[in-house]
Structure 1
Amino acid sequence: MTIAIIDDEQHCTDRILAFLKPYQKSSVIVCFDSVDSAIEGLEIHRPDLVFLDVMLGNRTGFEVLSGSEYVDFCLVFTTSYEQYALDAFRFSAIDYLLKPIDREDFLVAFQKATDKMHQKQLKERVDVLMGHISQLPNSKKISLPTKDGFEFLSIQDILRCEAAINYTHVFSKDGKKYTVSKTLKYFEGLLLDFGFFRIHNSHLINLNFIKVYSKSGYVTLSNGLKLEISVRRKDAFVKACESFLKS
């Protein structure tokens, strides 16, 4: 396996190299400290895995991705970005490591990357990432990891999400079902600011698709599905609907 580290701070590169030490005998590791050298190096070495710093001097890691013809690799960003940008990474299903990088976090990210070497589809996921970072409303999409790769779904097209132990079924408005190895709590945190509300331990719904609300404790969605609202969430649900209608 060939691994590339792209970072303009030597101490950050050294930290990743230290974490990679157990894998050095079975890997080729190359390092670059600028956008231009990274673009050239990616084409020459064609790595399987890239650790890419978001900021490279007065330029960015995104310039590396847009300027390189070779992008057939697994990608892990290293970043000091604030929370809003970290959410963007989560939406795109692109892994990131928050600086200063923790050893345990690094090992988890490294293992995930090596486990999913075949699930690259990097260009599409970077497009999703950039759409969120640039805050373009019509670019709000989410990447759903599947066993075969990734599905890219507009948030406004998600009807609801349903818990299935450590998995979640995501249903789109056109009736398609996607099963993702993430918990419903994960999707709740991700979609809360986009008009979604968790009405039950098992159900997260898009408020845009509510057709009927019954005071007896049920909601009917646009596809005719009737779902129960848990008693303890009922008041919060009514308040969420009121706020949503005002927005």
Structure 2
Amino acid sequence: MEMTIAIVEDEQHCTDRIMAFLKPYSDRVRVICFNSLDSALEGLESERPEILFLDVMIGEKTGFDLLSKIANPDFCLIFTTSYEQYALDAFKLSAIDYLLKPIDRIDFDKAITKAFEKIDHKQLKERVGVLMNHLSHIHTSKKISIPSKEGYVFLTIQDILRCEADVNYTHVITVNAKKYTVSKTLKYFEALLKDFGFFRIHNSHLINLKCVNGYSKSGYVTLMNGLVLEISVRRKDAFVHAIGAYMVG
């Protein structure tokens, strides 16, 4: 069954690059291209593509301007962006795929294969909202999108108590004792949450420093729910420094 893929991009060389990467899939896809938001809005409503490659910046506007005008987005969304690394965690926190320009062939094939295997448009508007919230400089509560069997759960980051490793899975536990199991490693969450006051005290535990109620010099930390966790010897000094800096901050 033929699948429709739309590209919204105002730089022709970027469109050409995506088109070239799509050639091996030409027997299963139909590609439509738009170089402005106005043409894209009209075209997306009539063509209803399954997959959309959307540039973050289009002229003086953004891809978010386009998405805000689409009542019921029912496509798999892959952003193409020139954002530097500091902003890319925002895409990860929102569970929205992105390709960093200039687009790499290997990264493209991974993204398109994932899209083919699972056309993921569940709760797209909510995930875009999380993304825009992280990209803005307005001080609001930041959230993270957690994949679930039903779709996505949107958690306020500071409502996360801790994350616990379980081989290649991670259990995300909230302050109200809810647990969500995600097929990501603890290392993934450590990289994602370290700038939000989280510290990895052990190979198996990443904790929210805001939720620390006590620390014992013998190497144990007590969380606000009364749970006592061991701090690994090699992380103890770094933890003392981190909790001290957090309390001062």
Indicate the TM-score class for this superposition, using the shorter chain for normalisation.
over 0.9
Letter in 2 for 1:104: I
Match of residue 190, structure 1, among 179, 192, 202: 192
Match of residue 105, structure 2, among 103, 106, 114: 103
Whether contact under 8 Å (2:50, 2:119) holds in the other structure is yes
Instruction: In structure 2, list runs of 5 or more residues that go unmatched.
Output: none
Alpha-carbon shift at residue 165 of structure 1 (Å): 1.0
Whether contact under 8 Å (1:53, 1:79) holds in the other structure is yes
CA distance in 2, matches of 1:147, 1:206: 25
Aligned partner of residue 242 in structure 1, secondary structure: helix
Whether contact under 8 Å (2:169, 2:181) holds in the other structure is yes
Residue in 1 that maps onto 2:179: 177
Residue in 2 that maps onto 1:26: 28
Letter in 2 for 1:84: Y
Superposed CA deviations along residues 65-106 of structure 1, whole A, max 9, x for unmatched, are: 012224111100000011232111111010100000000000
Dislocated runs of 4+, deviation >4 Å: none
Superposed CA deviations along residues 200-242 of structure 1, whole A, max 9, x for unmatched, are: 0000000111112111111111111111000000000000011
Residue in 2 that maps onto 1:137: 139
Aligned length: 247
Residue in 2 that maps onto 1:46: 48
CA distance in 1, matches of 2:88, 2:134: 10
Superposed CA deviations along residues 96-147 of structure 1, whole A, max 9, x for unmatched, are: 0000000000011112222331452110000000111113332300001223
CA distance in 2, matches of 1:102, 1:13: 14
Match of residue 116, structure 1, among 115, 118, 121: 118
Task: Give the share of equivalent positions with the same residue, in percent.
Answer: 68
Residue in 2 that maps onto 1:237: 239
Alpha-carbon shift at residue 193 of structure 1 (Å): 0.9
Alpha-carbon RMSD across the aligned residues, in angstroms, is: 1.1
CA distance in 2, matches of 1:202, 1:106: 32
Letter in 2 for 1:83: Q
Aligned partner of residue 137 in structure 1, secondary structure: coil
Alpha-carbon shift at residue 22 of structure 1 (Å): 1.8
Residue in 2 that maps onto 1:217: 219
State the TM-score, normalizing by the size of structure 2: 0.96
Match of residue 229, structure 2, among 209, 213, 227: 227
Instruction: In structure 1, list runs of 5 or more residues that go unmatched.
Output: none
State the TM-score, normalizing by the size of structure 1: 0.97
Match of residue 154, structure 2, among 152, 176, 199: 152
